[in-house]
Structure 1
């Protein structure tokens, strides 16, 4: 079992089983989870609590169906900043935390600085969004838009072999 507030968490086989199960179904009852991972309900609940406290489990979310929600457009946006100083990166990263349309953002090594996943009701609304983002003074020199035409695989759980 992981130790409380450790900076280098070591997950044992029971922790890994718990994480694997809740990635598949976060709404699973604690008693059913305990059965599946072969622990008592109290031991399983305690492990789950510690995993949450340690920040290994960041939250529980509902996965929505964009197709059934009425035409949400997803755009992958490659961003290149005009300056590459640490303060410029921090400014950009802090600003995008407050923009709900930006669902994900990753710092990338290579020809681009960031890769973002943006949700928009339409392509024209996305273009207006990007114009406002450029006017916001975030230091964006260039951006490249990649319109998602269909999801092939998304929101996959992290495989047990990678967790171990």
Structure 2
């Protein structure tokens, strides 16, 4: 499935940069930051939402403040890669709250999961109860995060296109 790229002008980019920095900006504050009046700014934001460029507004939470002191990346190989098994595995993973992300990948492993846990002992129980019981598991390889160097964030805005 190919998604068509949306063309952004300088004002769209300013709006997106402002919202990336603070998604809680009021319409008036956003309009002021991008040097527009409120109505045209609001229309641009609504267009960016309907075009799918802005797909959500969310609060980023600190896992450690919530008691999650361990982050792990889990590489998973499935017994067989037939479609039904892959869908069953992905549906099961999507239902586990501690799994922050799951990506189907190329290479030696089939999926890469990012999970959080309270500590190593809790991770062991989590892996035993949830990960090892997932449909079609052949191999699991876990890497623990020692230090977060750069946190997940929005992608960079593409360069301006010149006519």
TM-score class, shorter: 0.7 to 0.9
The CA distance in 1 between the partners of 2:78 and 2:159, in whole Å, is 32
Partner of 1:59: 56
Which 5+ residue runs of structure 1 have no aligned equivalent? Answer: 1-6
CA distance in 1, matches of 2:129, 2:66: 25
Distance 2:129 2:33 in 1: 49
Distance 1:36 1:54 in 2: 22
Partner Cα distance (1:11, 1:17) in 2: 14
Helix, strand or coil: the match of 2:158?
Answer: helix
Partner deviation per Cα, 1:24-79 (whole Å, 9 max, x = no partner) = 21112222222222322111112222322343322222222334444521111111
Q: Secondary structure at the match of 1:89?
A: helix
Q: Which position in structure 1 is the counterpart of 2:90? A: 93
Give, in angstroms, the shift of residue 162 of structure 1: 6.2
Deviation at 1:102, TM superposition (A): 0.2
Give unpaired runs (5+ residues) of structure 2: none
Distance change in 2, residues 1:96/1:62 (3 Å): same
Specify which of 82, 85, 110 is matched with residue 113 of structure 1.
110
- SS of 1:129's partner is helix
TM-score by length of 2: 0.84
Q: Deviations over 1:120-144 (max 9, x none)?
A: 1111111111112245342111111
Residue number in structure 2 paired with 1:3: none
- Report the equivalent of 1:8: 4
Match of 1:160, SS? coil
